[in-house]
Amino acid sequence: MPPPALPSLTLVDWTPSLTPGDAPIYERLLEALRADIEAGALAAGARLPPQRDLAHRLGLGLGTVTRAYVEAEKAGLVEAHVGRGSFVRGGTRAQARANDHGGLINLSQNIAPDAPARARLADTLTRLRRRGDLLDHLDYAPSAGLEVQRRAGAAWLERSGGLAGADWTRLVCTAGAQQALALAFGAVARWGDTVLCEASTFYGVKALAEHMGYGLKGLAMDAQGLRPDALDEAAATGAFKAVTIQPTLQNPTGRIMSAGRRAQIVAAARKHDLMIIEDDIYAVYAPDAPPPFAALAPERTFHVSGVSKSLAPGLRTGFLIVPPGDPMDRVLRTVRALSYAPPNFGGLIATQWIEDGTADAIVAEVQAEMTARLAMAREILGDAIETPMSASAPHVWLPMSELDAERLAGRALRGGVELTPPSAPVVAPGLTTGVRLCLGAARDREELERALRIVAAAVADVDERSRAVI
């Protein structure tokens, strides 16, 4: 059997950019290495500069660079060969993500680019060591979460979600927005109840309803989302207790309700005594959107949000604002029954970032990146997509019949692009159908452009087939 191939001797001219901060220099150098590997600037097999050369180039001590290389090897980023140097290992995180999707370009997951968060994590961990309350996070939190995290969550909803005067005493910390949705549903509905919703809605709502034994009744939509007349008519014909709505950058359509539309929905909810479950997770991408339902009808609104869609998916930190009165007790009893208390350390990172302004900086970079990606989607797909309601919308909607949507998804898949299954969001077939494209999961703009051009070709094929049918 021949010996295993040795890494290439190709030496890369790598001059990393170290982010400012309080973290030790070797940690910042390690993070720069990790980021450049993830971004593709350092390919698998690339030979890193000798430690002495890099130290001289950066004006650092040799020991600092040596420690960074050692830590990089421990982390599996590089492999060292005596007498030959250090080489970038294969199997980067971006490659792992591609492998998770069978090697396809992923336009099916609605996640934000995480490079801004990754670039700041090492410095954040250093600052966390200096927190006076760090060790408090090793204990169980109260069922609603630690006060410091609840206050930070309320501050974040106020400045990034437009929820003026957010009351931290009515905020429950959760393990992501999906758990917040589950708690809200559990507080207003029981097995066998039917909840009103948009004709096409977030797939997590459908999964939750199926698991918990709720029915869903999808209602007609227009360019602003859920139609108030459809809500009024449906609520008048049955014993419904609640309606769940995404008023800002609705998933999957990306539509935004005007202030007038929100007022009409509130009026209908009050008329029929409906509780409102408001999923406002994408508000951060539409800073000019009208105030949320929680500000308009706090007495009947469960407000769901979090940071996973804007800061980093892995934080799994969600927030639930609960209406005054009995609902808080029902929610906390459920928390104690299912998980006893929310997890502390994802919320600790989110709290640190909210308190010191890092969250605002990450969001600004993510918004800028999504603005560029959305502009690319509009240029390539043109009139095929519905006009986005925000310049930094993380997903776009291609309205079309259910049959054409299935054809498009199939053609894109054969071309190497994974799309959200067209049936996933549909609650009421025949009302609002199409294909959602998520712009954040592609590892960079080059990959996104390649995927969008594949989708554009698939759209053209579907249009041609549709015209040929008599």
Q: What is the pLDDT of residues 229-269, one digit of tens each?
A: 999 999 998 789 999 999 999 999 999 999 999 999 999 99
Shared domain check, 333 and 364 = no
In this prediction, residue 466 carries a pLDDT of 56
In this prediction, residue 1 carries a pLDDT of 42
* Residue 123 domain-assigned (yes or no): no
Shared domain check, 286 and 328 = yes
Shared domain check, 217 and 264 = yes
Shared domain check, 269 and 152 = yes
* pTM, rounded to two decimals: 0.81
Shared domain check, 172 and 161 = yes
CB 171 within 8 A of CB 347: no
Shared domain check, 439 and 321 = no
Residue 69 belongs to domain with CATH number: 1.10.10.10
Shared domain check, 316 and 373 = no
* Residue 407 domain-assigned (yes or no): yes
* Residue 403 domain-assigned (yes or no): yes
Residue 404 belongs to domain with CATH number: 3.90.1150.10
* Residue 128 domain-assigned (yes or no): no
Shared domain check, 289 and 261 = yes
Number of domains in the chain: 3
In this prediction, residue 295 carries a pLDDT of 97
In this prediction, residue 73 carries a pLDDT of 82
* Residue 409 domain-assigned (yes or no): yes
In this prediction, residue 468 carries a pLDDT of 47
Shared domain check, 319 and 184 = yes
* Residue 131 domain-assigned (yes or no): no
Q: Using 70 as the pLDDT threshold, list the residues of the chain that sit under it.
A: 1-11, 90-102, 463-470
* Residue 318 domain-assigned (yes or no): yes
Shared domain check, 391 and 448 = yes
Q: Which domain holds residue 437?
A: 99-118+359-468
Which of the listed residues 316, 337, 356 is the one where a domain comes to its end? 356
* Residue 71 domain-assigned (yes or no): yes
In this prediction, residue 44 carries a pLDDT of 80
Shared domain check, 419 and 301 = no
Shared domain check, 307 and 267 = yes
Residue 141 belongs to domain with CATH number: 3.40.640.10
